[in-house]
Amino acid sequence: MSAFPQHFLWGAATAAYQVEGAYNEDGKGPSIWDVFSHQPGTTYQGTNGDIAVDHYHRVKEDVKLMAEMGLQSYRFSISWPRLLPEGRGTINEAGVKFYSDLIDDLLAHGIEPMITLYHWDLPQALQDEGGWEARSTAEAFEEYARLCYSRFGSRVQKWATFNETIVFIGHGYITGSHPPSVRNPARAIQACHHVFIAHAMAVKAFCGMQINGEIGFVNVLQPHSPLTQSAEDMAASELADAIHTHWFYDPVLKGCYPAELLAQSQALWGVPRFAPGDDDLLRNNRCDFIGLNYYRRETVSSQPPAEKVSGEQGVEGLFYFVRNPQSVYTEWGWEIWPQGLTDGIMMIKARYGDIPMYITENGLGAVDPIIDGEVVDDPRIDFLRVHIDALETAIEQGADVRGYYPWSFIDLLSWLNGYKKQYGFVYVDHQQNLARKRKKSFFWYKDVIASRGEQR
Ligand code: BG6
């Protein structure tokens, strides 16, 4: 018998900008990604989500495939500018209808929806007013969240406010590789604060409107291991935990920032600046659950790497992410380390107590082999299998994990890697009018779901 409980949900995930396309149809307003990706040199080979994999027009076909696979839950995000083209105010009813129909169709097929309200596609109109650096964006987010609750709340029980704040704030305001392409840590910290405030406002509204469901936050789960057992590397790894993990989990799970780091940041940069009432807002509006996106761990050194590798680099002068010479990496330089999923889940349990968890993303980005016209993605099956093993170990050790959502249901647009990096159970043929094709992993996961994790 596997350790997965009866009510455990076997799902899969996507995000609006990466699958929908129809970027300017039926009244949708532009998002920051529409504007950014249209600027030359910003994305891999100039790829963008104008058409993506055309999920907007093929949604019925895609839901049928989900049902055929036996999916029990589908995590997707709502495009804020599709509902509110200006970010607030006038409602685009055609956009509301798209998601309303999707939810109905999912439910008709016995698939439970899990909604992410923000997977990075901020309305450009709000960016023009300062984006996340402006507190008014948090207020607009509450308005948007209320709209979603009022239109979909009677049918949807699982809600996440934000996806991976470390990524959209880190890349948007520190490395500059995502919109709005700023490189300024102090501005990053203040923008991030407004995201936590927006989250707390949305949780408060959720409770106030008495939505029958649960609301959480989705974070990157990235455990850190010191390269060596030297005091310097151990200290560097602890600092990486504090800055890359605790900073993003504490405000939504404990309702406050890690005290020491907060004091240091405010002394050094004067941020985050709190408005009156922010302390209470954070403290009184914490998550019902936490969503964990696990792909890899990082090996941490106190010294910069001899040669630069792709991916995250750490924080100059404080800690550096380096290759672990003993380990295995994907083509994109991401370590394959299933034990990190067990370790990470247990680390969350140890720090935050018995919080319910969902694995909201986990997957292998690869160029899939095609043999005799079939997509034979054995490396993906191997990857998911060992990660499901690792997840089961965490459940056996007492973690309250309630669902698993591999990334991704279908091949989709990678923000910075175009269509080359594939994650899906369903292949999309870009030479053949975006035709869908079931991969080998589709049939494998179907059996995993049908056997409730027994057969894998
Ligand atoms: C997560 C995001 O960071 O990783 C997804 O939530 C993203 O939107 C996924 O696609 C994989 O990242 P990448 O860069 O390989 O596409």
CB 77 within 8 A of CB 115: yes
Residue 39 CA, ligand 1 centroid: distance in Å? 21
As a whole number of angstroms, the distance between CA 381 and CA 440 comes to 8
Per-residue confidence (pLDDT) for residue 129, from 0 to 100: 98
**What average pLDDT score do residues 240-262 get?**
98
**What residue's CA is closest to ligand 1, atom 12?**
414
Q: Which of 43, 361, 419 to mutate to test the pocket of ligand 1 (most atoms within 8 A of CB)?
A: 361
Q: What is the pLDDT of residue 15?
A: 98
Which atom of ligand 1 sits closest to the CA of residue 334? Answer: 15
Q: How far is the CA of 456 from the centre of ligand 1 (A)?
A: 25
Residue 256 falls inside a structural domain: yes
What's the sign of the alpha-carbon dihedral 156, 158, 159, 162? negative
Ligand 1 centroid to residue 263 C-alpha, Å: 32
How far apart, in whole angstroms, are the C-alpha atoms of residue 246 and residue 425? 33
pLDDT of residue 307: 73
pLDDT for 305: 83
454 in a structural domain: no
pTM confidence score: 0.98
To test ligand 1's pocket by mutation, which of 414, 420, 421, 423 has the most ligand atoms within 8 angstroms of CB?
414
Residue 455 lies in a domain: no
Least Cα distance to 217 among 254, 177, 182 occurs for: 254
- Report which protein residue has its CA nearest ligand 1's atom 16: 414
Summarize the confidence of residues 213-225 as an average pLDDT: 98
Domain harbouring 408, CATH code: 3.20.20.80
Tell whether 163 is in a known binding site.
yes
Mean per-residue pLDDT, 155-178 = 97
pLDDT of 311 > 70? The answer is no
What confidence tens digit (pLDDT) does each residue in 312-358 have? Answer: 688 888 999 999 989 999 999 999 999 999 999 999 999 999 999 99
Q: Is residue 2 part of a domain?
A: no
| Section 438-442 average pLDDT | 98
pLDDT tens, position by position, 59-96: 999 999 999 999 999 999 999 999 999 999 999 999 99
Residue nearest to atom 11 of ligand 1 (CA): 414
CA of 414 to the centre of ligand 1 (A): 6
Digit-coded pLDDT (tens) for 387-433: 999 999 999 999 999 999 999 999 999 999 999 999 999 999 999 99
Cα(252) to ligand 1 centroid in Å equals 22
Please report the pLDDT score of residue 312 as a whole number.
Answer: 62
- Which H, E and C letters describe the chain, residue by residue? CCCCCCCCEEEEECCHHHHCCCCCCCCCCCEHHHHHHCCCCCCHHHCCCCCCCCHHHHHHHHHHHHHHHCCCEEEEECCHHHHCCCCCCCCCHHHHHHHHHHHHHHHHCCCEEEEEEECCCCEHHHHCCCHHHCHHHHHHHHHHHHHHHHHHCCCCCEEEEEECHHHHHHHHHHHCCCCCCCCCHHHHHHHHHHHHHHHHHHHHHHHHCCCCCEEEEEEEECCEEECCCCHHHHHHHHHHHHHHHHHHHHHHHCCCCCHHHHHHHHHHHCCCCCCCCHHHHHHHCCCCEEEEEECCCEEEECCCCCCCCCCCCEECCCEEEECCCCCCECCCCCECCCHHHHHHHHHHHHHHCCCCEEEEECCCCECCCEECCEECCHHHHHHHHHHHHHHHHHHHCCCCEEEECCECCECCCECCCECCCECCCEEEECCCCCEEEECHHHHHHHHHHHCCCCCC
Return the residue whose CA atom lies nearest to atom 8 of ligand 1: 15
pLDDT band at 306 (very low <50, low <70, confident <90, very high): confident
Q: What percent of the chain has pLDDT over 70?
A: 99
User: Annotated active-site positions, please?
Assistant: 164, 361
Are 53 and 427 spatial neighbours (Cβ–Cβ below 8 Å)?
Answer: no
- Whether residue 394 lies inside any domain: the answer is yes
Could you tell me the two tokens for 370? 């095609």
Ligand 1 centroid–CA 419 distance in Å is 12
Does residue 264 lie within any of the structural domains? Answer: yes
Residue nearest to ligand 1 atom 13, measured at CA: 414
Domain count for the chain: 1
Q: Which residues contact 163 (CB under 8 A, 6 or more apart)?
A: 15, 77, 116, 118, 119, 120, 218, 293, 360
Determine the Cα–Cα distance for residues 263 and 272; give it in Å rounded to an integer.
10
Check the annotation: does 313 bind a ligand.
no
Q: Which residues line ligand 1 (CB under 6 A)?
A: 15, 18, 163-164, 167, 293, 361, 365, 407, 414-417, 421
Percent of the chain with pLDDT over 90: 96
Q: Consult the annotation and say whether 339 binds a ligand.
A: no
pLDDT at 221: 98
Residue 284: φ, ψ to 5°: -95, 0
Atom of ligand 1 nearest to the CA of 415: 16
Q: What integer pLDDT is reported at residue 314 of this predicted model?
A: 86
Residues 15-26: pLDDT tens digits? 999 999 999 999
Report the C-alpha gap between 117 and 146 in whole angstroms.
Answer: 11
pLDDT interval class at 231 (50, 70, 90) = very high
Q: Note down the domain range covering 148.
A: 7-449
| Res 234: pLDDT | 98
Among protein residues, the one with the nearest Cα to ligand 1's atom 14 is 414
Ligand 1 pocket mutation pick from 165, 405, 415 by most atoms within 8 angstroms of CB: 415
CA distance 199 to 28: 24
